[in-house]
């Protein structure tokens, strides 16, 4: 519960970071910022993605057997190997910044890539300490570090960005200052984790019941066998955003846009549309984290009926969030973007750039939300049942699909930046279909009625209510009409869900605080 809450709070803070940042530095700078950030994301995934999972597994096994000495050995080995590897990855990203910026035809990103490169090292430190504490069933430091990390990035990033804007620096320098806040936030979180580790050793101890301790070579082998599959899956997951980062700016320049205009278009896509697109994914991820342990436990006990029930609940919960998010964004995309993000003078000066671009992109990108939710959930389920290679393969196929469509569509004058969300829809739809097709070989999939049909019917009523309320109130109340439309739509959606019996008691009981929710909603 602590971990889910911490993760959710941290993700909300991080997702909200880009809204005020866009107001401070503008779309061109956001394009530069996001370009550098995506390269950093890929590097820190390579360096750390599987570390907490692997460490948690090994430490929990050793602790359960009372091998206190082995727990310490695992921690020392992980610190030596993975922190060193994190430092190497940070150095590689810093050294290759010029080559990466030139290869993607975005030299403006050079300073930003260098500014964020050291963050990879700090993330590696955080990952090792988190994994050790999670293995000892202490989730508090992980939740705490996530919140500190997110809050640090927001406060320091906005502070550096505001100082850069006040000093009148050029776009590349402003973006580099903003992204330096990310590095500083990671450094702060790493410091908090190390301090907690120093004080926490006294309170989080393993009972020394067994003096047995496996040799370093054997422990290293087990660590790598766990780390590598998780890292591969996570790395491939980042491929769609990396494809966008590597291709969009160069393809846009190829059809006549200047470097500044291309970065502005990319900034709208990633800083506006993609920022809003990520909000529902945050909630889905947090809820899936709470549900999946029950599914993995049921499958491990060969209780396929219970496993299918838990998977059905997880998918229904995901769709209950993804479908209304999709419909809500389609209906209110433009007023939401207008409410949250500032107009860019670059767009006003150039007739080739559409001021309504952010809303248009969000409207298209919203169609991918259900597929993305199913991909994230099905990847986790496949890993939980031991099919770790399948997500790697399906994500690779999705990545190829994304590359081809991005190249063809973004390079077309009439489509340009709109090719990116179209490619994202196709990519994740393909992956979701392949994952579900594979899953049905092992676990019975839930019926489409309650998975899609009933929630979608509720969404149609919700969307109609949102549209009517906004049209009625917008002329008189302006921006307030958006908030009113969202509030009314949410209430209509909940009423329709209950009326259509789209919620089941078992679904809600799997959630943190599920018993209280059942009583509150009076679900039998």
pLDDT band for 17, please (50, 70, 90 cuts): confident
Q: Is residue 291 within 8 Å of residue 314, measured between CB atoms?
A: yes
- Residue 300 CB contacts under 8 Å (≥ 6 apart), including other chains: none
Predicted pLDDT at 1: 53
Predicted pLDDT at 422: 95
Looking at residues 433-441, what average pLDDT do you find?
90
pLDDT band for 330, please (50, 70, 90 cuts): very high
Q: What is the pLDDT of residues 332-372, one digit of tens each?
A: 999 998 888 766 665 555 555 566 888 999 999 999 999 99
Looking at residues 129-154, what average pLDDT do you find?
78
pLDDT band for 294, please (50, 70, 90 cuts): low
Predicted pLDDT at 289: 57
- 508 pLDDT exceeds 60? yes
- Residue 42 CB contacts under 8 Å (≥ 6 apart), including other chains: 235, 238, 242
Q: What is the pLDDT of residues 183-210, one digit of tens each?
A: 998 899 899 888 877 765 555 554 455 5
Dihedral in degrees, nearest 10, Cα atoms 416, 419, 420, 425: 160
- Residue 510 CB contacts under 8 Å (≥ 6 apart), including other chains: 290, 291, 294, 310, 313, 314, 317
513: left (phi over 0), alpha (psi -120 to 50) or beta: left
Distance of alpha carbon 329 from alpha carbon 137, whole angstroms = 39
341 DSSP assignment: S
Q: State both tokens at 70.
A: 């082995």
Looking at residues 125-150, what average pLDDT do you find?
78
Helix, strand or coil, per DSSP, at residue 264: helix
Q: What is the pLDDT of residues 281-290, one digit of tens each?
A: 777 766 665 6
Q: What is the pTM of this model?
A: 0.76
Of 521 and 424, more confident: 424
Q: Is residue 263 within 8 Å of residue 31, measured between CB atoms?
A: yes
Choice among 153-167, 212-226, 240-254, 386-400 with the minimum mean pLDDT:
212-226
- 5 pLDDT exceeds 80? no
Looking at residues 378-393, what average pLDDT do you find?
79
pLDDT band for 91, please (50, 70, 90 cuts): very high
pLDDT band for 512, please (50, 70, 90 cuts): low
- Residue 221 CB contacts under 8 Å (≥ 6 apart), including other chains: none
Choice among 21-25, 68-72, 340-344, 380-384 with the minimum mean pLDDT:
340-344
Residue with tokens 């009372």: 66
């Amino acid at each position: 519960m602590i971990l889910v809450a911490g993760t959710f709070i941290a993700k909300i803070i991080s997702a909200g970071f880009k809204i005020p940042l866009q107001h401070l530095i503008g779309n061109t700078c956001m394009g530069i910022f996001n370009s550098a950030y995506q390269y950093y994301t890929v590097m820190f995934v390579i360096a750390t993605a599987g570390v907490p999972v692997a460490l948690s597994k090994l430490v929990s096994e050793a602790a359960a057997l009372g091998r206190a000495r082995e727990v310490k050995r695992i921690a020392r080995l992980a610190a030596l190997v993975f922190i060193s590897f994190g430092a190497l990855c940070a150095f590689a990203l810093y050294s290759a910044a010029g080559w990466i910026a030139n290869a993607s035809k975005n030299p403006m990103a050079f300073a930003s890539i260098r500014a964020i490169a050291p963050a990879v090292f700090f993330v590696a430190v955080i990952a090792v300490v988190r994994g050790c504490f999670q293995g000892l069933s202490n989730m508090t430091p992980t939740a705490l570090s996530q919140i500190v990390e997110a809050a640090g990035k927001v406060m320091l990033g906005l502070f550096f960005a505001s100082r850069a804007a006040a000093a009148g620096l050029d776009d590349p320098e402003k973006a580099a200052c903003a992204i330096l806040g990310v590095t500083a936030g990671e450094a702060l979180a790493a410091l908090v984790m190390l301090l907690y580790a120093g004080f926490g050793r006294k309170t989080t101890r393993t009972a020394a019941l067994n003096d047995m301790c496996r040799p370093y070579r054997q422990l290293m082998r087990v660590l790598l066998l766990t780390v590598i599959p998780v890292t591969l899956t996570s790395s491939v997951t980042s491929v769609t955003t990396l494809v966008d980062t590597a291709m969009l700016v160069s393809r846009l320049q190829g059809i006549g846009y200047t470097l500044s205009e291309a970065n502005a278009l990319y900034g709208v896509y990633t800083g506006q549309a993609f920022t809003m697109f990520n909000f529902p994914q945050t909630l889905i991820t947090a809820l899936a984290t709470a549900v999946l342990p029950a599914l993995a436990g049921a499958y491990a006990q060969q209780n396929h009926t219970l496993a299918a029930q838990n998977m059905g609940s997880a998918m229904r919960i995901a769709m209950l969030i993804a479908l209304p998010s999709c419909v809500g964004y389609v209906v209110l995309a433009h007023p939401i973007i207008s409410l949250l993000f500032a107009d860019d003078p670059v767009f006003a000066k150039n007739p080739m750039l559409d001021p309504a671009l952010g809303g248009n992109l969000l409207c298209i990108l919203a169609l991918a939300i259900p597929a993305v939710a199913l991909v994230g959930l099905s990847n986790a389920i496949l890993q939980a049942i031991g099919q770790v290679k399948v997500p790697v393969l399906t994500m690779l196929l999705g990545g190829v699909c994304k590359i081809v469509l991005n190249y063809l569509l973004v390079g077309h004058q009439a489509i340009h930046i709109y090719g990116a969300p179209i490619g994202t829809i196709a990519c994740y739809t393909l992956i979701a279909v392949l994952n579900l097709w594979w899953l049905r070989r092992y676990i019975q999939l839930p019926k489409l009625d309650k998975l899609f049909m009933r929630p979608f019917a509720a969404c149609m009523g919700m969307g109609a209510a949102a549209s009517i309320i906004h049209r009625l109130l917008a002329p008189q109340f302006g921006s307030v009409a958006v908030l009113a439309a969202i509030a009314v739509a949410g209430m209509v959606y909940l009423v329709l869900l209950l009326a259509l019996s789209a919620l089941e008691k078992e679904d809600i009981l799997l959630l943190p605080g599920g018993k209280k929710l059942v009583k509150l909603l009076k679900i039998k």
